[in-house]
Amino acid sequence: MKGILYAQLKLLIRNPATFLIMTGICILFAFFIGSSSGTYQSYIPIYSEMEEKETEQVLSHLQQYGAQNYELVEKEVLEKEVREGSAEAGLFLFDDHYEIVIASKTGTFTLLEQNIQKAYGHYLQEKQLKQADNVNGAQLIKQLNEPMFTVETKTFFGEDSFIYDSKLQAIFGFAVFFVIYTIAFNVIHILVAKQEGIWDRIILSPSRKWEMYVGILCYAFFLGYIQVVIVFSFFRYALGVNFYDGFGNALLVLIPYVLAIVSLSVLIAGISKTTQTFNAIIPIVSVSFAMIGGSYWPIEIVTSKFMLALSKIDPVTYVMDALKAVTIYGEPISGALFPISILVLMSVVMMGVGINLMERRS
């Protein structure tokens, strides 16, 4: 095993470009896409038939939830902007209900629907309380806004609501996406060694076969893990990105994911007869997994049942869930045990099948 690690490290020192470029590209993508999404707030034109004071009440509730930029406009302007695509959605406010106008169903619609539901609910609740008891209404509203204690439920599996942090979405998404390449292009050393006859030489040595597998896979694991740690640390310490006090837990959550990707690469190596096949499969798998698993965009905005079903067999889905749980949703590690367990299970199954396939072929 020492020999394998020695050779792999020497090869890395001799040609560190691939690792550095992959890490650099990951940071650049996360930086630019995260920053641009961070400052971008989708524009929502609002036309209101409510009283000015009441409109302001609803608007103030909406603005509390952030993420979208609201502006009061005339009815014709709203309709024109939605029709022409300059706004993804528009909102009509009435005394007893609201209406959303959209040209197509996008993530903006989902987010707007969630926010207006909460804002309008809040507004109606206040209104009813005022009407029910004119004397104590104001006090009741005050108590409602400042309760003695609050019971808050946060979820990262929920279908009803989600919290979106564009910076973390980009950092997590690109880190877990690019690390697939780094790991796969190190696991491929098994296939290269087999093709070039080095593996046979090792078999004939006193080293055991499991030592060879462990050597190469440990190396792939550590290199992949170091890459994600570098990316996360860069954003946390160099750019001061808020990890919601979950930075340490986020690094822990990455361990089962990196392991799952090592196993996935072993499985693909087991299926591939040659390095050429392996090199052809990896980009297809990594891009599809990233898309399906919510690496590029939050999985919460995906509405297709088929895509959601597919995401259940994708390790990216579970690592994104777990990362969001321990950061955005402020969960402890135990709160992310479900996705972590799935990742561990995936690692065991894929590793077992992959090594079996490779051994059968040889």
Partner 1 sequence: MLEVTDLKKQYKQTKAVDGVNLFIEQGEIVGLLGPNGAGKSTTISMMSSLIPPSEGDVRFLNESVIKQPQKLREKLGVVPQEIALYLNLTARENLQFFGKIYKMDKKQLGAKIDQVLEIIGLVDKQNDLVKTFSGGMKRRLNIGVALLHDPSLVFMDEPTVGIDPQSRNYILDTVKRLNREKNMTILYTSHYMEEVEYLCDRIYIMDQGHIIASGSKDDIKNILSAEQTFQIETAVVKEEFTNLLKEHPSVRQLTVQEKTVTLLVPKEVVFFQTIIELAEQTNTELKSVQVQKPSLEDVFLHLTGRALRD
The token pair that represents 34 in the structure block: 């995260």
With binding defined as CB under 8 A, does residue 203 bind partner 1?
yes
218 interacts with partner 1 by CB under 8 A? no
Q: Which is nearer to partner 1, 135 or 204 (CB)?
A: 204
Choose the binding region for partner 1 from 176-184, 194-202, 224-232, 238-246 (rule: CB under 8 A). Answer: 194-202
- The DSSP secondary structure of 116-142, one letter per residue, reads HHHHHHHHHHHHHHHHH-TTTHHHHHH
CA 141 – CA 128 distance, rounded (Å): 10
Nearest CA to 258 among 295, 221, 231? 221
Residue 205 within binding range of partner 1, rule CB under 8 A: yes
Cα–Cα distance, 190 to 207 (Å, whole number) = 15
| Among 47-55, 203-211, 257-265, 332-340, the segment contacting partner 1 (CB under 8 A) | 203-211
What are the residue ranges of helices labelled H in the chain? 2-14, 17-39, 52-65, 75-84, 107-132, 137-145, 166-195, 198-203, 209-233, 247-271, 275-293, 305-311, 315-326, 337-361
Query: Under the criterion CB under 8 A, does residue 273 sit at the interface with partner 1?
Result: no
Is 360 a binder of partner 1 (CB under 8 A)?
A: no
Place of tokens 């040209």: 103
- For partner 1, which residue of 67, 100, 198, 310 counts as binding (CB under 8 A)? 198
Interface residue with partner 1, options 33, 82, 116, 202 (CB under 8 A): 202
Binding to partner 1 by residue 359, rule CB under 8 A?
no
Give, rounded to a whole angstrom, the gap between the first and last alpha carbons of the chain.
20
**2 lies in the site for partner 1, by CB under 8 A:** yes
Rounding to the nearest 10 degrees, give the CA dihedral for residues 298, 170, 164, 89: -70
- Is residue 37 part of the contact set for partner 1 (CB under 8 A)? no
CB of 203 to partner 1, least distance (A): 6
Q: The dihedral of CA 214, 215, 217, 223: what is its sign?
A: positive
Judged by CB under 8 A, the stretch of 8-16, 36-44, 108-116, 238-246 that binds partner 1 is 8-16
**At its nearest, how many Å lie between partner 1 and the CB of residue 330?**
46
Number of residues that bind partner 1 (CB under 8 A): 20
Closer Cβ to partner 1, 105 or 209, answer by number: 209
Decide if residue 361 touches partner 1 (CB under 8 A): no
Q: Is residue 16 involved in binding partner 1 (CB under 8 A)?
A: no
Distance CA(113)–CA(161), nearest Å, equals 10
CA distance 166 to 38: 5
In the complex, the residues that contact partner 1 under the rule CB under 8 A are: 2-4, 6-7, 10-11, 14-15, 196-198, 200-207
